[in-house]
Structures are given as C-alpha cells and as structure tokens.
Structure 1
Amino acid sequence: MSKNSIPPILSNNIISSTRRCSLPEEIKLDALAIAAHRDDTEIVSGGTLIKLVDLGYSVGILDLTAGESGTRGDATTRAEEARCAAGAMGLKYRHNLELPDAGLYDTQENALKVAEIIRLTRPELVILPYWIQRHPDHAAASLIGYRGCFLSGLIKMPLIGNAHRPRKIIYSTSFQDVEHSFAIDITKQFERKKQAVACYKTQFEEKQGVREVYPPARDIFDYMEIRARQYGYMISATYAECFFQREKFSFDDPLKIPGISI
C-alpha cells in the first residue's frame, strides 16, 4: 500500500483489496480483528464480532493473506466468500493485505503494513490469534498484529496518518487448550456466526483424499457448537467464545465483579 492510497469503501461499506483510490477523510473502527486467513476470525471469534455490531460498535477484519496456497478454493473465490461473511456479520470494514499465504513471517515490513491499517482505522480494541498455534501462519499473524499495534503508536514511524495505539488487545483462545482470561456470551449471535462460516463453501464441503483439520470438515458446525457450549457452560450461558489478555483486570468495586461463584 502506498502512503497516499487505500482500498475504496464499496457500496456495502466493506473495503475491497482489488482497487485503490485516494484516502478517505476518516475510517473509524471501534474493534478490529486480525487473522492470517479468510474464515479464521469467523470460526474463533465471529460471535463476539457480531455481538459488538449488535451493541452499536463499528467492527472490521484485517485478513493478512489471500489464501492462495490453500488446498481448497482459490483466492478469488475466497474473496467472494469473505464478502458474504462480512455481510452476514454486519462488518463496516474488511481488507486483505495479500501477504504470502503459507509464507507469513513476523517481519518489520509486514508489521508496518498492519500499522498503517491501525492508523487508518484507529480501533480501541484489537483481537489477535493466540500466539501458540498449529498453523505457522496463525502464529505469525499474532506476532505481526501485536508488533503492528505497537509500531502504529510511534510518532516518528514513516506511516500514513497520526500515531495511534489500541487501548486493548485480546487474544482469541477458542479451540485452544490454554488458560482463558474471560468468555463472551454469544448465545444470541451463535446462529449468525454459523451463517457467516457457512459462506466459506469451498473450505467446508467434503473433498476426497484431503487431510482434514476439523475431521471431517463437513462437521465444523458440530465442532463449533460443542466448543461454544463448553465455553458457555463456564459462564452459565448457552454459547460463548473465550479470550486471553496479558494484563490483569482491575476493579474499583469488588462487589460489581461479574459472574457467580457458587
């Protein structure tokens, strides 16, 4: 991305990476999720993004790669699927940096590209993948996203716009057997989350001779439901998604700490 251009806002307010035009005066988001591939965010934290939209916040997704190396589908088809999912979730913004799929690394160059998007969208909340992952691209996306958030706040960085650093960074830990800091009730959003994931038909239709990440791949929705129910049980809800934050919570009034202990 050049310093004087950004992909245009289309008629449905979803940003496309296929064309470029002059920088709009303002693209302000409340929350931005960053992930390696199209569909990653929908699966692990899609319910939370939909809930934020329901609460009236402006929400977006930054996909780092186009998924051109994936076994199923192709970059063009997956772009259309991502557009479908963005509409189902009510996103204001979606952009793809088109970094190398299956070759994503935590470099200064990649982090600066993320930092430019952070400055352009100025989110208060950023959601990243947890940094311990099976897929190397997912682990790299976590590191690139964090570094990008940090670099965006450095005034002397030669980037578009004014310095900005998100107030809060949280890590999606759904499907990860790690410590969770908290869970978000997505009971009212779960059906719409499934609708968003269902947009990715190339990824979750049965294919012969393909090793499955979620065996069998056609049962991804059953797997999502089992996990969401497990997390929901932890907070006395039907469905939930889990997250981790590095810093400790602080409460001014201990009597108002949410949750029930007994």
Structure 2
Amino acid sequence: MQLDILVFAAHPDDAEVGCGGTILKQVALGNKVGIVDLTRGELGTRGSAEIRAQEAMEAKRIMGLVVRENLGMRDCFFSIDESHTMQIIKTIRKYRPRIVLTNAPHDRHPDHGRACELVTNAAFISGLPQIKTELDEEPQLAWRPELVLQYIQNTYIKPDILVDITHFWVKKIACIQAYKSQFYHPDSTEPAVTYISSPDFFLIHEGRSREFGKYINAPFAEGFTCQRFLGVDNLQHLR
C-alpha cells in the first residue's frame, strides 16, 4: 500500500494536536494518509497504553486514515540508534510516501525532538539502496520521501509554512477529544490533572491556531518547519 502522506508521532495524540487539521484537509482532498505512532504512550500520567490504543483507533476513524500502526518503542527511552532507525526505514519503505510529517524539532516533551531527529534522519537514509531491509521476508526497495515537514507542538517555533485548517477546526477538536483519558472531558474519572487535561489547554491550543491563521488571513492554521528550502510553481498560489 502506497500512501501520499505518512505521519510519524512519538505518542498517540501527537499527530492529532500537531497536524490533525492538515491531515483532515489532505484526506478530504483525496490523499491517502496514515499515522505511525512510535510508542504506546505507556508512561502517561493518565489512562493506560491499552486505553490510548482504543482512543487512537477512534481518532483514526474520525480522520479517515488508511492505516494506523504502532511501532512499540519505549516511551521516553527510545534512542537514535541503528535499531530504531531501521524500524523507521522499514516503515517508510513499506508505505513509500511522497510526504512525511513528524514531531517538532524541540518541544516540552523530550520525546518529540528525539522523534523528529530519528525520523528526519531515517527518511534520508531510507533512500540509500545499500541499506538492506526486508518485509515479510521480501526485500524492500530504497525509498526517499520528497518532503519532510515537522509539525509545531507545544513550544512556539517560527513556522516555515502555514496550512489553513479553518474548515476542519471543529473536526480536529473532535479527533483530540477522542483521547478522553488524556484531555479534558467532563465525565472523566481520571484522578490526576495534567497540563493537557486542563480545560485551559483547548483555549491555549485555539490561541496558537488563531495566531498562525492571522498571518494568512484565515481563522485557523497549523504551522510546519522544514530543513530545506520550499518551492512553488505559481506565485499566485501563495497567501
């Protein structure tokens, strides 16, 4: 199965918060999009890995993803080493996406920056034919995505590109709220209150999206960074 866009996320719910609106927009445009979560988020203060797996599948349904899988890396303890890099390479070669989206280069949670470096490096190495991998005992062909973008998360980072998600804002919030164990929900029985489970988190997130949106004359937008220059065929398409 070849995807148009493959999204990597250190934890289940990272993609929904960081680029959920963009995913929804690209799916609506007919793109085949999938998410690969690196860890199960098992060290989260609220909920459990099993609960988050169920919530991730509900978010998958809402977003209309073609596929969602979890690589089972250790939450907070995965490394940028050969073993983990090869896991990412095999996944990229499996889905052969034109575009890869991944975590922010630095953020409040150290897993986010580490995931960014791991995925960004692997996306390049995946294009080297001398790196041999197999899937179901069949050799995989080398594949390098044309574009790797990093979605902006909690920490403010100046974006290189902004995507108007206005028409998908309400549905994006529904995707985030699928994680009832992690974010504010009036019926939650979770004993602990965390930064993201506070009702104020949605206000903070809305403020960021509105701030990004104002720069392109849109109510809501999501921001991305890129480690290379971006091009456009027609200046009239810029906003």
Q: TM-score, normalised on structure 1?
A: 0.83
Give 1:187's aligned residue: 166
Give 2:99's aligned residue: 125
Give 2:238's aligned residue: 258
Alpha-carbon separation, structure 1, partners of 2:232 and 2:114: 33
Give 1:99's aligned residue: 73
- State which of 121, 124, 147 in structure 2 corresponds to 1:168: 147
Give 2:209's aligned residue: 228
Alpha-carbon separation, structure 1, partners of 2:99 and 2:156: 24
* Aligned-CA RMSD value: 1.6
- State which of 35, 48, 54 in structure 1 corresponds to 2:28: 54
- Post-superposition offset of 1:148: 1.8
SS state of the match for residue 231, structure 1? Answer: helix
Q: Which amino acid aligns with 2:200?
A: D
SS state of the match for residue 206, structure 2? Answer: helix
- What are the Cα deviations for residues 127-162 of structure 1, in whole angstroms up to 9, with x where unaligned? 111211221211111111112212211112121211
SS state of the match for residue 158, structure 2? Answer: coil
Aligned residues: 230
- State which of 134, 142, 146 in structure 1 corresponds to 2:116: 142
- Post-superposition offset of 1:186: 0.2
Alpha-carbon separation, structure 2, partners of 1:222 and 1:171: 23
Counterpart check, 1:246 vs 2:220? no
Where in structure 2 are the equivalents of 1:197-216 lying within 5 Å? 197-205=176-184, 207-210=190-193, 212-214=194-196
Give 1:6's aligned residue: none
Give 1:152's aligned residue: 126
SS state of the match for residue 188, structure 1? Answer: helix
Unaligned ranges ≥5, structure 2: 135-139
- What are the Cα deviations for residues 10-56 of structure 1, in whole angstroms up to 9, with x where unaligned? xxxxxxxxxxxxxxxxx110001111100011001000001000100
Q: Is the 8 A contact 1:174 1:227 kept in 2?
A: no
- What are the Cα deviations for residues 227-261 of structure 1, in whole angstroms up to 9, with x where unaligned? 111111111001100011122233455x43512xx
SS state of the match for residue 43, structure 2? Answer: coil
Unaligned ranges ≥5, structure 1: 1-26
Larger RCO: Structure 1 or Structure 2 (Cα < 8 Å, ≥ 6 residues apart)? 2
- Of all paired residues, the percent bearing the same amino acid is 35
Counterpart check, 1:80 vs 2:54? yes
Q: Which amino acid aligns with 2:230?
A: F
Counterpart check, 1:44 vs 2:18? yes
Where in structure 2 are the equivalents of 1:4-83 lying within 5 Å? 27-83=1-57
Alpha-carbon separation, structure 1, partners of 2:178 and 2:91: 25
Alpha-carbon separation, structure 2, partners of 1:251 and 1:184: 14
Q: Is the 8 A contact 1:112 1:148 kept in 2?
A: yes
Alpha-carbon separation, structure 2, partners of 1:36 and 1:57: 23
Alpha-carbon separation, structure 1, partners of 2:60 and 2:210: 24
